[in-house]
Amino acid sequence: MNLHRPTAFSTRQFAEQALSRSAGAPLIGGNAVDLLIDAQAHYDAWLKAIAGAKRHVFLENYIIRNDRIGQAFRDALVERARAGVFVAVIADWAGCLGQSRSSFWNPLRQAGGEVRIYNPPRFGSSFGWISRDHRKVLVVDGETGFLSGVCISEKWLGDPARDVPPWRDTGVMLRGPAVAEIEQAFADSWRDAGPAGLPEDARVARHEPAAEAGEVNLRLIATQPSTAGMYRLDQMVAAMATKTLWLTDAYFVGVAPYVQALSAAARDGVDVRLLVPGSSDIPMVAGMSRSGYRPLLKAGIRVFEWNGSMLHAKTAVADGRWARVGSSNLNLASWLSNREIDVAIEDAGFAAKLAAQYEADLENATEILLRGSRRRTGNERLRSRSPRPPRPRHGGGSSSRAAAGALRIANTVGAAITHHRVLGDTESGPVLAGALTAIVLTIVAVLWPAVIAWPLALVGAWFAVNLTINWFALRKQRRRQVDEPGP
C-alpha cells in the first residue's frame, strides 16, 4: 500500500476502521431510522410500542417521575405484564431521587414485572454512587428500539397554563439488526443493577436478530463508566470533519482536549457551530458552559443560545453524511462516569433531516459574539429571533452594578436589533462566584470550625467504613483461594 497517496477506497476503509475502534462499535447495516422531535412525539411512539408488545418490554431511563406521564407509562407496563408480557425496568437512583419512590413501582411488581434501581449508595463502595445510568432506552419484542435524551416526566412537556413551552429534545426509533445491540446493552445494565441476568425466556440470545428493515448504516455506542468510547468518537469526528460540524448539547462543559479539537477544525475552515441552552434547569452547569465561550469564539466557532424553556437535545451532524443522537452530553460525566447510549448514523438522508432541524432550531436562538466582531454575511444568514436578554449578574458594588446594568441594557437592545448578543465582561461571573465561595468557606472555617469539621468527619467515617468492608471482602476472598485445592 502506498502510504503517501492512498486510494479513495483505502482512505474510506481507514476512516471506517478508525471510527469502529475509537467507539468500540462496528458498523451495522440494514436499519430503518425515524427522527423523533420533542417529548410528545416520543411519548406517543413509546406508549404505542408498549401497547403492541407480545414478548417483552425493556425500559431503561434516568428519570421516571411519579406524575401524569410517569403514571401513564407505569399503567401501560402493568397492563402488558398482566397479559403475560415480560416487563423489565431500570431506573437510576439519583435521577429518580425526589421524583418517584420505590412504592411507585408496586403495581408493576404485583403484576409480575421486574424493576431494578441502578447504583443506590451502599457500603463497600466509596465512590460507586458517582456513576449514573443516564440512558433513555426502550426496546419492544426485539423488533423496535428507541434511544433518546427524553426522560419520562411531565416537565418535558412544558406548562401551557404558565406559558412555558415544551423542552426541546431529540431521539430516534430504530428497526433492524441494530435493535439486538440495544437489547444487549440493556442486558448489561440489568446484570449490573441486580444479582441475576434476564430470565431464560427473555434473553436476547434466544431470539434471532431482527431482519433488515432499511438501508441505513449505524453504530450503537453503549458506554460504561471509565470506557470513554463516546469521547474518543467525538474527538475522531472533530478531526475528520471537512465542511461542517454542528453540535447541540444540553450541558456543555468544554474540556481542553475537546475544545482544542473543535478549534483546530474551525481554523481549518470547518463550519463548527454549538447550540446550547439559554436558560438551564441546572444553572451551575450553564455558568460553567458560558465561562468557556471565549476560546471557542476566538477560534471561529459559532455559539448560539436557545431562547426556549430548555434545550435538552444531544446531537451532532457532520459533512451532511454523519449524525449522532443519544443521551451523551459533551462533558466528563457523560464521557467517563455514566452509562450512556448513542447512535452514530452514516447516512446522507438522515443527516440531511437532522441538519434541517438544526437550522430550524437556530431560528429560535441568539448568536453570541465577541466584542468588536461583526455579524457574518454572504451565503450564511444568521438564523435567530426573539433574542433572550442576558441573565442578570451581580456586581461587587454600586459602580460595578451600574456598569453591568448599562452593559446588559446595551446587549439587550443590540440583540433585539441585530439578533445576536455580545459576549461582555460580565461573562466572568462564574470565576467571581468561585472566588466568593472560597472566601466564605475560609471565613466559616476560621470563625466556626465545627461547621467545616463535622462534614469532613462524616466523609472520613464513610471512607473508613467502606475501606474496612473492602478489606474484609479481600481477606475472605484470599482465604477462599487458599482453602480451595489446586488442580
pLDDT in tens, 394-450: 333 333 333 334 434 444 444 544 556 666 544 555 566 667 777 887 887 788 877
Position 461 scores a pLDDT of: 73
Phi (first) and psi of residue 229, to 5 degrees: -65, -40
pLDDT digits (tens, 9 = 90+) for 329-340: 999 999 999 999
Which residue has better confidence, 164 or 482? 164
Gap between the Cα atoms of 284 and 266, Å rounded: 28
Whether the pLDDT of residue 483 is over 90: the answer is: no
Which of 170, 182, 173, 174 lies closest to 314, judged by CA?
170
Q: Could you please report the per-residue DSSP string of 322-363?
A: EEEEES--SSHIIIIISBEEEEEEE-HHHHHHHHHHHHHHHT
What is the C-alpha separation between 381 and 377, in angstroms, rounded?
A: 7
pLDDT tens-place string over residues 256-277:
999 999 999 999 999 999 999 9
- 14 and 6 Cβ atoms separated by less than 8 Å: yes
Cβ 252 vs Cβ 276: under 8 Å:
yes
Q: Give the per-residue pLDDT at 3.
A: 44
Q: How many CA within 13 A on the CB side of residue 473?
A: 9
* Residue 176 near residue 30, CB atoms below 8 Å: yes
Nearest to 52 by CA among 141, 136, 112, 113: 141
Please tell me the total number of residues recorded for the chain in this structure.
487
Which pLDDT does position 20 carry in this prediction? Answer: 79
Residue 286 CA to its chain's centroid (Å): 15
Q: How is residue 369 written as a grid cell?
A: 459574539
- SS3 label, residue 245: strand
Residue 50 near residue 82 (C-beta atoms within 8 A): no
d(CA 152, CA 343): 20
227-237 mean pLDDT:
91
Contact between residue 351 and residue 229 where contact means Cβ atoms under 8 Å apart: no
**Greater pLDDT, 408 or 358:** 358
Mean pLDDT of the chain: 83
State whether residue 467 is helix, strand or coil.
helix
Whose CA is closest to 181, among 317, 35, 64, 29?
29
- Residue 74: its pLDDT value, please? 98
Residue 99 CB burial class (10 angstroms; 0-12, 13-18, ≥19): buried
- Return the closest-CA partner of residue 393 out of 442, 365, 431: 431
Q: Which residues pair with 302 in a beta bridge?
A: 273
For the segment 303-316, what is each residue's pLDDT rounded down to a tens digit?
999 999 999 999 99
Band (pLDDT 50/70/90 cuts) for residue 72 is: very high
Q: Give me the pLDDT at residue 405, please.
A: 40
Q: Which residue has the higher pLDDT, 438 or 102?
A: 102
